[in-house]
Amino acid sequence: MLNLKKLVAWLSGTDQPKRPSTDDSEERRRFQRLQLDNCFLSIDDSDSFPVTNLSYGGFRVDLSGWKDLKTLQPGDSILCNLKMQNTQINCRVTARNISKTIIGCAFSELTQAQSNAVTEFIKPRILGHSLREIDTAKLKNDDPKLRMRWFQGDDSTQIFFWQTVDGENVMQEFYFLDYFISWNKASGGLQTGKIKTESRSNFGRISPDSVAFFHIPPYKALKLGQTILECSKLPPEARDNLLSEIIGEEKRLFHRFIVKNSAITFVADNSCQVFPLLNISMNGMALLKPEEASINTEHPLRGVLKTGDTDIKIIFKPAYFHETMLGGGLQTIDQKDLIRLEEFLAPRLLAQYLEEVPAPVEPPAFAPLGARTYLYTGLHNTHILSLIDTGASLLRGRIAFMDRAITCRRGNITEYRCPEGLIFPGDWELDSAVAQPIEKVEEIALQICREMIANAELAPEVKQAWEKAFLGKP
């Protein structure tokens, strides 16, 4: 049975800390390699073997203890499962070099989706390793009172930061994979955006007018930025502050739902005043306080959160006041209200950070002419994959979150359990070694999917197709 507490904890990032990969050697091979300590290989349901380096073309693995190691010869093909932190692929590799228990393997017969998975894992790590300090003499420093430093890497990856004469960081700009993250001590916090197509450049800074800023920073941008910085050899003054800000912002993503309309409100007991919500988490919320409203911020307020069809009884403890925003702690009255709050928050947090990404290059073999594929990815392994025909009907689709996957094939609904929680978003078929179907779809899982579809920013045809053909309107 789906455990809401487990889902909320999963949203908060319960995975073990991921250690950055390092590469202390200057690689001269055809494919640049990463030295790793967090990737593993399994063969025929055997124990996991450590993968010690990885490239676009293959990897090196220590097969000490494998039962068939003595008979392995160069050129032999091996069917295996490669686990790269939170991503795993079932693939075939060819043994190229054998030195005792250390085997050098080359990928063979990778599908486009598998190749994408390897690339998405490797690329930000290589970008981080490529960052080097550059002479700033070629660039104009807008403030001569500050010292500007410039770090540049592969694929237009750049970091600019400004320091006072005492070495204090004042401002930073981070460019990578068409994303832009800036930090300014004076204003505080991060700004995150996507560099507009016409403004993309391989060199130097760009104007803020060339960036489309996000109201809510995408999880993908923060995660990629974090990985690049963690895998870099930047000096602490260029890395640590920006990395800390990004990690802090990422943690906030898991807890806070940004309310985009005035339909969700808080009504204090014994009062006719209605306060629209600005954001809410399991432990706190921020209210929009109208100018004419009066509220005593010194004492806790009992009241009701009105979330459409559901009322949730809570105690609100004011903690800070800023202009027309009132924020503070939140506590539910009893266990039933806690469950209602979890049911309300979980799917909205899942939906809030879904971002459209390029759909799989290879369309499924059964796709009719003119059908379109849409892919949205979000927190952890959350994704929505949809194949829509020319009549705006859902031919096939999947909604995945936590250890669940709900699939739709021409109206037939199936729920899968994925103990490892690892499904590559671009794969149309679920690997039986990863996902097992269950006999009856749980209503709570369907309800979460309904809420995700209703609250996510999806293309209209995707939203309508799921509502019409699969989920229906609650």
CB 13 within 8 A of CB 251: yes
Residue that has been written with the tokens 């996902």 in this structure: 435
Q: Quick one: CATH architecture of 258-344?
A: Beta Barrel (2.40)
Structure tokens at 419: 């103990």
**Strand pairing of 325-332 and 311-322?**
antiparallel
pLDDT in the model for residue 470 = 63
pLDDT in the model for residue 201 = 67
CB 47 within 8 A of CB 88: no
What are the extents of the domains in the chain?
Answer: 34-127, 132-253, 258-344, 355-471
CB 41 within 8 A of CB 80: yes
Give 238-293 pLDDT, tens digit per residue. 999 999 999 888 776 656 788 877 789 998 887 777 889 988 888 888 898 766 66
pLDDT in the model for residue 255 = 67
pLDDT in the model for residue 26 = 38
Residue type, 472: G
Residue ranges in the chain modelled with pLDDT below 50 = 14-31, 473-474
**How far are the Cα atoms of 97, 405, 434, 435 from residue 431, in angstroms, in the given order?**
29, 12, 5, 6
**How far are the Cα atoms of 140, 165, 290 from residue 147, in angstroms, in the given order?**
11, 7, 44
CB 221 within 8 A of CB 181: yes
Q: Which residues on neighbouring strands pair with residue 388, listed in sequence order?
A: 372, 394
Question: How does DSSP classify residue 156?
Answer: G
pLDDT in the model for residue 83 = 87
Domains 34-127 and 258-344 share a fold: yes
pLDDT in the model for residue 176 = 94
Letter string b/e over residues 148-179, b meaning 16 or more CB atoms within 10 A of that residue's CB: bbbbbbeebbbbbbbbeeeeebbbbbbbbbeb
| CA pair distance 102, 97, nearest whole angstrom | 8
Class of domain 34-127: mainly beta
pLDDT in the model for residue 380 = 75
Report the side by side order of strands in the sheet with 147-152.
132-134, 147-152, 158-163, 169-176, 179-184, 190-195, 211-213
